Structure 1
Amino acid sequence: MKQFIDFIPLLLFFIVFKLDPRTVEFAGQSLQIGGIFSATAVLIAASVLVYGSLFAIQRRLEKGQWLTLAACLVFGGITLLLHDETFLKLKAPVLNGLFALGFAGSHWFGDKLLIERMMGHAISLPQEIWRRLNLAWIGFFLFAGSANLFVAFTFQSIWVDFKVFGSLAMTLVFLVGQGFYLARHLHDADPANPTPHSKD
């Protein structure tokens, strides 16, 4: 469920982007609705609201959520300040790259791989399986970031659609694949035999 919280602001971004540009009156102010810049403003506001609400409820945010919020504020803010959508197009590739770097770094720094820190409280797996899962997440983030970068600057007419639904589809496919992979190895979590050989 946590993986899909990030898509709430993106869905609102998509809806506003697809609206025909119009001027609306709100609290005595004229606001332009529709198009990339008003959608970017909604993305920022929705991100602050969503993650602010999570923080109020949980009294904490995960590091990835802080990073996502910061990237939204930085890249979205620069986009609005300079009136240049190029910076927003860079948000997903840069963010995915940072996530990949974080997962990769955990192979050399810290006592546990990042994926084990995230999921180890729920399941127990042999170290080799954690290593493969961590590598899979690195590959996923690199692929997702590269795909977003390619579409954003090659197929500019559909980059918003891909940013929202392409990213969602990639995440769903990857998580389903991870679920099937984990199902094959859950028996390896037997406390009486904590480090069996992998079937692979």
Structure 2
Amino acid sequence: MKFLFDLFPVILFFAMFKWGEGHPEAAQGLVQQYLSGLVSGGAATVSQAPIMLATAVAIVATIAQIGYLLMRGKKVDVMLWVSLAIITLFGGATIYFHNETFIKWKPTVLYWCFGAALVISQFALNKNLIRLMMQKQLVLPDPVWQKLNLSWAAFFGAMGLVNLYIAFNFSTAFWVNFKLFGFTGLMLAFVIAQSLLLSRHVKDPQ
């Protein structure tokens, strides 16, 4: 359930882009109606409208995620706040400049922020963030926790590079598809691979 909750903005981004692709004039009309005050020059072309509309929906969806958690009295993860800041900054730039380049950089910046947080916490603050998140579910030797933390940092670094390659070597439509299905598939594959490797080191809780 949490997995789908985390994917909520990405799913809406994908759905709105696909709708805008199929109805470009209608998408342009919505951009003109609701976003014209945020757009440099006050207008967007038919080809620009789908990505701009999808970006606006993703920003609103991320805000809604945080609002939902706050209303239920639940803690909002730091990374969700970071995600909101990044999508607002890069998404806002995409809408204002009607330029998709900014939103295409957003996943890379987010992944690299995640990776940097893991590395800096381990070496500068002597904190293992992966251990803090997973120690209630897993009991592992200290060296394995350190390797696990660094492997996630490396994975996020690689994901950022993959995003840049896909974003700037393929069409925007292909990138939007990959953003949902490709990255989700890579994440699941990595988690499964990690689980298989960790099974040799898991200790039974005393």
TM surpasses 0.5:
yes
Partner of 1:170: 186
Residues 57/173 of structure 1: CA separation in 2 closer, same or farther (3 Å cut): same
Partner of 2:198: 182
> Is residue 16–residue 38 contact of structure 1 (8 Å, CA) maintained in 2?
yes
Partner of 2:99: 84
Separation in structure 2 between the aligned mates of residue 37 and residue 112 of structure 1, nearest angstrom:
39
Write out aligned runs for 1:10-21 (5 A).
10-19=10-19, 20-21=23-24
Q: Secondary structure at the match of 2:26?
A: strand
- TM-score (ref. length: structure 2): 0.82
Partner of 1:38: 53
Deviation at 1:110, TM superposition (A): 2.6
Partner of 2:70: 55
Partner of 1:94: 109
Deviation at 1:5, TM superposition (A): 2.8
Q: Secondary structure at the match of 1:116?
A: helix
Write out aligned runs for 1:61-140 (5 A).
61-140=76-155
Task: Return the letter of the residue paired with 2:176.
Answer: V
Deviation at 1:104, TM superposition (A): 0.8
Structure 1: runs of 5 or more not aligned: 192-200
Q: CA RMSD in A?
A: 2.3
Determine which structure has the larger helix proportion and give its number.
2
**Equivalent residue pairs, number:** 188
| 146-155 vs 106-115, which moves further | 106-115
> Is residue 126–residue 189 contact of structure 1 (8 Å, CA) maintained in 2?
no
Partner of 2:26: 23
| 115-124 vs 94-103, which moves further | 115-124
Determine which structure has the larger strand proportion and give its number.
1
